[in-house]
Chain A
């Protein structure tokens, strides 16, 4: 600039417009978007919302299980997404994270099973009494309610 004339306003804005357009055309991807784990978890959650969730008239214990699964997905996703956006290094599902979010689901499933058995066989047995016999068809019915029919190979 020292010994030369400055570009005119016209020239300067022509350069500016070209640069603005070049920047606007650049592909923009967030860190989270580049993380396969986040995308996979979001897809799993979507699949669960569409296909796995119980109908509105499902029994109460089933709704509790559904709520626990939804909360687990949300919690896992929030944690994984925060890590992905930070770029804090290797991002993986560590055992503590899984335990923190999946434990409530397993608790809800176990509680649901217990309630289901009580519903099926009447009052809970007094302490010390032998547990009621449960046959395979009872368990199969519960598992079918929870996870749906198995896929045909």
Chain B
């Protein structure tokens, strides 16, 4: 994709570099090389490397994994005060472990193609993805641009189960719906959810053998404007006014155990939710009837006010963010990561709901002023990369569907609420 061509690591200029807070694995080959090289280099380097790594047991059947220790500030012990990596500056880029050399890139084999995509937990990657309208345009991969061509993800092309067999075809079809001209982004996301819901009884991990004719027939029907127009008209007519998604998104971003939450994400959440502290938790008359006022309804009204104000000022920009995030999600994360196609779609919609909540409520975009778009861009990048660091690099991504289930949103109706949030 185009944004991968534009991306380059900005090193010490990065607002939040990738050398802290992670468990970084050192692949066995690089580990052996480093042990030998540091021995040959000097006793000081040998001692430093030995002290910087540790082994983690992965059970009886697996070999232990070698990882870099983190310092008291949770930074990698190989990170220099200058912001540069000690291994890279002393021994060269070739001695970086695969994880360090590749991040934030992902190389995966999908069907017969080798694909390169980016992880938005890197602030510069998030910037390149969000700030250009053509960021997700497909371009031919220049393999010489890759310093290390290690395929880390992908799918087994020999698997004949429908979910695997139709993956490339279905993904291309879904991206076609996402970029279909003539419809609003909300309508396009609804088309995708509609198809995902109807195809999931066939496109799931448990179905070993099935006739895929109905899936193909559905894809064909959704290629015509007659069907899409009818769905769009009906989607526009549905009423989906409820605070349910707001409560779900609040729950997701607020960890039950603050110690397990990344500090930078925690700061972002606290900053955003401070905006809602003036909303009364209880006032006389609450809960007198199902239609009565409540804290949830007051929060919902406040969120909608903020959303409407920002969307009115920057609709195309907001749509660009959401469409690019959705496109990258489908390219970067294969649907096979989820138990079925609908769950894969609902995870995206939930991530988008969290993104919308944090961007629309962020204090930096509440005021007017000439630099509004600059502030909005900065907030969008900040929210996207911090959320990705917190949610996408942890088991929370799979916990999203549990949250959806608890909120009764694991359905097409749930998708509608999430889209219109």
CB closest chain-A residue, reference B296: A28
| Given A30-B296, A86-B256: A78 in contact with B277 (beta carbons within 8 A) | yes
Stretch at the interface among A31-39, A63-71, A142-150: A31-39
Please report which residues of chain B, range 284-339, place their CB below 8 angstroms from some CB of chain A when the two chains form the complex.
286, 290, 294-297, 299
Q: Is the CB of B294 within 8 A of A16?
A: no
Q: How does the 8 Å CB contact mask read for B247-259 relative to A, with 1 for contact and 0 for none?
A: 1001000111110
B14 an interface residue at 8 Å Cβ cutoff? no
CB closest chain-B residue, reference A10: B234
Inter-chain CA distance A1–B416, complex, in Å, is 22
A29 an interface residue at 8 Å Cβ cutoff? yes
Inter-chain CA distance A4–B211, complex, in Å, is 9
Q: Is the CB of A32 within 8 A of B413?
A: no
- Min CB gap A85→B, angstroms: 6
Please report which residues of chain B, range 212-266, place their CB below 8 angstroms from some CB of chain A when the two chains form the complex.
212, 214-215, 217-218, 227, 230-231, 234, 238-244, 247, 250, 254-258
Q: Is the CB of A26 within 8 A of B244?
A: yes
Q: Is the CB of A30 within 8 A of B273?
A: no
CB closest chain-B residue, reference A30: B295
Q: Which residues of A contact B250 (CB under 8 A)?
A: 30, 85
Inter-chain CA distance A58–B270, complex, in Å, is 37
CB closest chain-A residue, reference B200: A1
A129 an interface residue at 8 Å Cβ cutoff? no
| Given A2-B214, A85-B273, A87-B254: A33 in contact with B282 (beta carbons within 8 A) | yes
| Given A29-B296, A33-B295, A88-B256: A24 in contact with B211 (beta carbons within 8 A) | no
With a 10 A CB-CB cut-off, give which of A5, A6, A13, A23 has the most chain B CB atoms.
Answer: A23
Q: Is the CB of B417 within 8 A of A6?
A: no
- Min CB gap B212→A, angstroms: 8
Inter-chain CA distance A87–B261, complex, in Å, is 13
B172 an interface residue at 8 Å Cβ cutoff? no
Q: Which residues of B contact A77 (CB under 8 A)?
A: 277
- Min CB gap A14→B, angstroms: 11
Q: Is the CB of A30 within 8 A of B258?
A: no
B201 an interface residue at 8 Å Cβ cutoff? yes
- Min CB gap A100→B, angstroms: 17
Q: Is the CB of A20 within 8 A of B238?
A: yes
Q: Is the CB of B290 within 8 A of A38?
A: no
A138 an interface residue at 8 Å Cβ cutoff? no
B409 an interface residue at 8 Å Cβ cutoff? yes
A19 an interface residue at 8 Å Cβ cutoff? yes
Q: Is the CB of A16 within 8 A of B256?
A: no
| Contact size range, B | 35 or more
Q: Give how many A residues have a beta carbon under 8 Å from the other chain's beta carbons.
A: 40
- Min CB gap A64→B, angstroms: 24
Q: Is the CB of A1 within 8 A of B214?
A: yes
Q: Is the CB of A88 within 8 A of B294?
A: no
Q: Which residues of A contact B286 (CB under 8 A)?
A: 33
A133 an interface residue at 8 Å Cβ cutoff? no
| Given A28-B294, A85-B250: A42 in contact with B413 (beta carbons within 8 A) | no
B281 an interface residue at 8 Å Cβ cutoff? yes
Inter-chain CA distance A9–B233, complex, in Å, is 12
CB closest chain-B residue, reference A20: B413
- Min CB gap A94→B, angstroms: 15
Inter-chain CA distance A20–B240, complex, in Å, is 7
Inter-chain CA distance A25–B289, complex, in Å, is 12
| Given A20-B239, A23-B242: A2 in contact with B207 (beta carbons within 8 A) | yes
Q: How does the 8 Å CB contact mask read for B172-205 relative to A, with 1 for contact and 0 for none?
A: 0000000000000000000000100011011000
Q: Is the CB of A29 within 8 A of B294?
A: yes
Inter-chain CA distance A9–B214, complex, in Å, is 14
| Given A2-B207, A16-B412: A86 in contact with B254 (beta carbons within 8 A) | yes
CB closest chain-B residue, reference A17: B238
Inter-chain CA distance A35–B281, complex, in Å, is 9
B411 an interface residue at 8 Å Cβ cutoff? yes
- Min CB gap A63→B, angstroms: 23
Q: Which residues of B contact A17 (CB under 8 A)?
A: 238
B56 an interface residue at 8 Å Cβ cutoff? no
A136 an interface residue at 8 Å Cβ cutoff? no
Inter-chain CA distance A70–B282, complex, in Å, is 18
Q: Which residues of B contact A26 (CB under 8 A)?
A: 242, 244, 408
Interface residues of A (CB under 8 A from B): 1-7, 9, 12-13, 15-17, 19-20, 22-30, 32-33, 35, 38-39, 42-43, 77-78, 81-82, 85-89
A-B CB proximity, top 4 nearest? A19-B413, A2-B210, A1-B201, A28-B296
Q: Apart from A16-B416, A28-B244, what 7 extra A-B contacts exist at CB < 8 Å?
A: A6-B214, A20-B240, A22-B408, A26-B242, A27-B290, A33-B295, A81-B277
Interface residues of B (CB under 8 A from A): 194, 198-199, 201-202, 207, 210-212, 214-215, 217-218, 227, 230-231, 234, 238-244, 247, 250, 254-258, 270, 273-274, 277, 280-282, 286, 290, 294-297, 299, 408-409, 411-414, 416-417
